[in-house]
Amino acid sequence: MQARPRGGVSGARGPQLRRGWLALAIAAGCSGSVDSRPPNSTAVPEATVIAAVSVSESTVIAAEPVSGPETTAIAATREQVAELPAPALPVAPPPDDRTPRLRDACVAGDTITIAAVGDLLLHEELQIQAYAAPDNFFAVWGGVRDLLAQADLSYANLEGTTAAGLDRKGQAVRDPGRVFDRRVYSSYPRFNYHPSLLDDLVASGFDVVSTANNHALDREPAGVDATIAALDRVKLAHTGTRARGTQGPWHALTRARGITVAWLACAEHTNQIPDPEGQVLRCYEPEGALEQQVRALIAEPSIDAVIVTPHWGKEYKPEPARAQRELAARLAAAGATAVIGSHPHVLQPWEVLPGAAGRDTLVIYSLGNFASHQPELPRRSSLLLYLGLTRPPGQKARVHGVRYVPLHVRQTGLQFFVEAVDRVGGPADSRALTVAMFGEAAVLAPDAPLATRPACP
């Protein structure tokens, strides 16, 4: 087992997709030394096989050194610190009354930063634009690609299927290629995207997506299978659905800077499309089952953090429903590190809830639409969330801070562009709407150094 780069302030971005890979690697006598992939690489082998995560993973992770460069620096004596130049760690500005207060903001340990965006809901116009463009979907979100890639891990909700050659009934038909033909590749009410979208997501720095949402079955059960196969082909980790006839885990594992995060997605419903094979993990049914999964995951010694990504709530409501709040509280109590919601197509607030074992749980109820054609201002206004985690030596990770970049979908003619509002001098009304909910102090200027740590004594 080779030592992995970890926790440093300048280490390479290095997520490792490990869905079922370690059990396989151990069975094959492999030491699991593949650690990081360079940005835009698709050459990570381990996401293709779905298998249960075994307890033996803890053996692999325990083989790693516990202390990283940051903990070493923090452990230096006061005299040593006095002699050293000031550390170059960028720190977040002082909080305001909208900034979540986190009890472990200043805890020492290894750190990672996670970027999260909301719904990829690619309506007709966006698909037509992308399929006709030489750079495909970068034509839509290329303007924020660097903001995603600078985090250690990036997440989005993939709202729709990527099922080549399937019509709305899930029947195999001739695939038209990158063409919005309304038969294979289609928009509301049943979304299906050309699988080249997934290559673009990987090249944009995305490491993990939710596939549990109300459009998961838009190409029937066969579409779930095809989407999972397409995701596995590009080595993009996914959570919340599974192929027919498989009993693999619902969660995905990512690894960056030596920290393993389990991702668990669920859907409140599937637009009344039947799910005869139980391929979509539900948020509320059976009652308590999701919370039980969280408890099992966080109890796993090899897992440092659990992030739940529920697709829930009422569309277009800027406040979470009571059911969302209650489930968030139960997920926090079960040990979730963070809960990152989507589905309402508008932003819903964040808050800190008391979690398990004295840790806080950061909840953001809805991230809004990342990319869509929904013309109303609240539906075009969203954010890129940066979540900072710290893992103290020998303990579970906890959230140390959050920042965000206000985003906006600009429409020019029939073209759509995801933009960082502050980068392009974007619409003041969109920015005001977002900042009113999340505060000014947590805004990260798009060209500022990425910093989620607060200034600590």
Tokens of 455: 């200034």
CB of 342 vs Zn ion, minimal distance in Å: 7
Nearest-5° Cα angle at 151, 351 to 337? 35
429 φ, ψ (degrees, to nearest 5)? -70, -35
Axis-axis angle for helices 196-203, 220-233 (nearest 10): 40
318 φ, ψ (degrees, to nearest 5)? -80, 0
Sign for the CA dihedral angle at 161, 167, 173, 174 comes to negative
> Contact positions toward Zn ion, by CB under 5 A?
213-214, 343
CB of 419 vs Zn ion, minimal distance in Å: 23
CB of 159 vs Zn ion, minimal distance in Å: 5
Buried b (16+ CB within 10 A) or exposed e, 349-373: ebebbebbeebbbbbbbbbbbbbbb
**Which residue's CB is nearer to Zn ion, number 213 or number 381?**
213
**Which residue's CB is nearer to Zn ion, number 6 or number 311?**
311
**Which residue's CB is nearer to Zn ion, number 147 or number 156?**
156
**Which residue's CB is nearer to Zn ion, number 22 or number 265?**
265
CB of 425 vs Zn ion, minimal distance in Å: 31
Residues 136, 283: Cα–Cα separation, whole Å: 33
**Which residue's CB is nearer to Zn ion, number 190 or number 343?**
343
Taking CB atoms, the residue at the shortest distance from Zn ion is: 343
**Which residue's CB is nearer to Zn ion, number 213 or number 260?**
213
CB of 346 vs Zn ion, minimal distance in Å: 12
Q: What is the DSSP secondary-structure string of 10-40?
A: SPPP--EE-TTHHHHHHHTT---------TT
**Which residue's CB is nearer to Zn ion, number 310 or number 426?**
310
Instruction: Give the sheet arrangement for strand 305-311, strand by strand.
Output: 16-17, 252-256, 259-267, 305-311, 338-340, 360-367, 347-354
CB of 228 vs Zn ion, minimal distance in Å: 19
CB of 213 vs Zn ion, minimal distance in Å: 5
Residues 12, 247 contacting (CB under 8 angstroms): no
